[in-house]
Amino acid sequence: MNITIDNCKYTPRWDTLQTLIREVTDDSKGVMIGINRKDGGCDYRGPGGYMVSFRQSDSSILSVNLEVS
């Protein structure tokens, strides 16, 4: 899955992002299990590229490419 958000000062809160992924996958029990900046940085509120792992209720892992600029 790819999510791109343009013209932002901040990355969305992680619970907000989890809610979005739950809604678009129709999986109300899925949970985010990992978030990593692609550049290896530690500013998780700032714009940039992120790799997000989301465990679906059937235990499969959905990889999400998040780009915030």
| Portion of the chain with pLDDT greater than 70, in percent | 100
Mean predicted lDDT score pLDDT of the chain: 97
DSSP state of 44: S
Number of structural domains (the chain) is 1
Q: Take residue 66 and report the two structure tokens written for it.
A: 């998040």
The residue whose two tokens read 């997000």 is 52
- At 50, the pLDDT band (50, 70, 90 cuts) reads very high
Domain that holds residue 41: 2-68
The predicted-structure confidence for 15-46, as pLDDT tens digits, reads as follows 999 999 999 999 999 999 999 999 999 999 99
The residue whose two tokens read 């059937």 is 58
Tell me the pTM. 0.91
Distance between CA atoms of 49 and 37, rounded to whole angstroms? 6
